[in-house]
Amino acid sequence: MYASQQDELINVKGLHKYFLGNHILKGIDFSANEGDLISIIGRSGCGKTTFLRCLNCLEILDSGTIHIAGITLSRHLNHHITEENNPSNNKKRRVLLPNLGMPKEERLDDDFRLKARAIRLKVGILFQNLNLFPHMTVLENISRPPMIVKGENRDQTVPRAIGLLEKVGLEKFMDRYPHQLSGGQAQRVAIARALAMSPQVMLYDEPTSSLDPELVQEVMEVMINLHKEGMTQIIVTHAMNFARKASNIVIYMEDGKIVEQGHPDEIFDNAKDQRTQQYLSIL
């Protein structure tokens, strides 16, 4: 059964990204429905982090279209003319090269910049570590950002922060500082902090890979509970057990492309693409 266009919270078409002249994302087509919990797996360097960062505009796509949380961003490769391919030099064939490198925010037009900013507000992202402000208590870490970024007042943000701490099972830790938490607790606070901004989508880049095995489960549980509540989540992970058991879709990426995607059982037991089979066979 296919979801209707309306259910699609994310739709990406022909996404390309270059870094320093290297073609990193090579035409990604992707969609996610509201409530999906999608795991992205693949070898180191295949572009998983870059893809997540493009989704919430921490990196600006070079080409393609990203529709996410009701906002659509489109961009096409700017071409520049070098000495080598200058058309006035008619001895040489005219070749248009993409304008490589990170586009500076100031080179983007106002409308694009505003949309990118709006996307960052609606799409939460969590990294492996370094997610909390060290000089703020747990409660401040969660209640302050909506005050600073969205101009909300303390009367709104503090009760919401306490509610979110209850959700991640850490209400007793609200007065502690980040260095007084275990790695698993810190990641749960970081999730609560991202949720305090009322995101429509949550992205996680290997959220448990720096944790001891016994702490992984408590962070995973938070994501599983959010899935039950209908939050749309995308997780880059090397935790195959989690990808298989918790997600409703698994994506295998290789060399800047999505090679295969499907239900976890399909991918893990019955991958159709040889590249996916080979990757899974060496795990």
Ligand X SMILES: Nc1ncnc2c1ncn2[C@@H]1O[C@H](COP(=O)(O)OP(=O)(O)OP(=O)(O)O)[C@@H](O)[C@H]1O
Residues near ligand X, by CB under 6 A: 19-20, 24, 42, 44-50
How far apart are CB 209 and ligand X at their closest, in Å?
9
Residue 124 binding partner per list Mg ion, ligand X, none, with a CB distance cut-off of 5 to 8 Å that depends on partner kind: none
Least Cβ distance, residue 42 to ligand X (angstroms): 6
Instruction: Please report whether residue 143 would count as binding Mg ion according to CB under 5 A.
Output: no
DSSP 8-state class, residue 185: H
Q: Which stretch binds Mg ion (CB under 5 A): 33-41, 44-52, 135-143, 250-258?
A: 44-52
State how far the Cα of 68 lies from the Cα of 154, in Å rounded to an integer. Answer: 29
Work out what residue 17 binds among ligand X, Mg ion, none; the CB cut-off runs from 5 to 8 Å by kind: none
The alpha carbon torsion through 189, 193, 198, 200 (nearest 10 deg) reads: -70
| The pairing of beta strand 249-254 with beta strand 37-42 | parallel
CA distance 209 to 230: 24
* Among residues 10, 32, 41, 49, the one that binds Mg ion under rule CB under 5 A: 49
Please name which of 226, 220, 276 lies closest in space to residue 250, comparing C-alpha atoms.
276
Segment near Mg ion (CB under 5 A); pick from 42-50, 122-130, 135-143, 267-275: 42-50
Complex with Mg ion: residue 67 or 257, whichever CB lies closer: 257
Q: Is 130 helix (H, G, I), strand (E, B) or coil?
A: coil
Give the Cα separation of 255 and 257 in Å (integer). Answer: 6
Nearer to ligand X, 41 or 191 (CB): 41
> Is the separation of the CB atoms in 74 and 61 below 8 Å?
no
Tell me how far, at minimum, the Cβ of 265 lies from Mg ion, in Å: 25
From the list Mg ion, ligand X, none, partner contacted by residue 19 (C-beta under 5 to 8 A by kind): ligand X
**Closer to Mg ion at the Cβ: 170 or 219?**
219
Element (H, E) at 123: strand 123-126
